[in-house]
Structure 1
Amino acid sequence: MFISSAIAQTAPAPAAGGDMQSTLVSMLPLVLMFVVLYFIMIRPQMKRQKEHRAMVEALAKGDEVATAGGILGRVSRLGDPYLTVEIANGVEIQVQRSAVVQVLPKGTIK
């Protein structure tokens, strides 16, 4: 007697369409979070990488540059993976192209 009344009080099984809808609704905040993350963090980072790559490819002899280490100098020779930067009269160093973070306006370095 007790078992039959307990079974009678259980909730009815939901329809198959309602279960699918509740699953989609529960996943909506997660999907929205990834969309916001993409537009706030990932997309701007990709844009900065693209701009940096274009700047590094456009380097020419005589450009004044700043490196990631804070060294200012003038490009004296260009190679594929490296470039030579003159930091003082007769003092040249070799740096990776990717280490150049900024091309300075002409005349910045005296």
Structure 2
Amino acid sequence: MNPFLFLVLMVGGFMLLIYFLMIRPMTKREKQHDTMVEELQTGDTIITAGGMYGTVETIDKDSVVLKVESGALIRVTKGGVLKRDLWQQADDWRPDSQL
């Protein structure tokens, strides 16, 4: 086998491996995050990338205004929204309940 052809096949194989192990999952997560952020509604409880919990008060083009437990309003970018906190939105959840 030609050494140059072998080198080209090896480099191509590594590029495919990197794509399927790193790039493709990352783009899939980005699409899921974008979809989740677009589906946010007023009243949803979310967790920010900084670990803060809050309830969505208003949604702007590039940011979300959250009401945190103390009653303060904070503005975070949509990219700072980590995930929706579905557990706290369950019907049986009470903020004053003890675990």
Extract unaligned runs of 5+ from structure 1: 1-17
Moved over 2 A (4+): none
Structure with bigger gyration radius: 1
2:76 alignment partner, SS class: strand
Cα distance, 1:99–1:109 mapped onto 2, change above 3 Å: farther
Alignment partner, residue 60 of structure 1: 41
Q: How does 1:90-109 map to 2 (within 5 A)?
A: 90-105=71-86, 106-107=89-90
Which residues of structure 2 form unaligned runs of 5+?
none
Distance 1:54 1:99 in 2: 14
Provide TM-score, normalisation by structure 1: 0.75
1:75 and 2:48 matched? no
CA distance in 1, matches of 2:50, 2:6: 49
Identity %: 31
Structure ranking higher in helix proportion: 1
Q: Paired residue for 1:34, among 8, 12, 15?
A: 15
Once superposed, what is the RMSD of the aligned Cα atoms?
1.8
Q: How many residues align?
A: 91
Q: TM-score, normalising length from structure 2?
A: 0.83
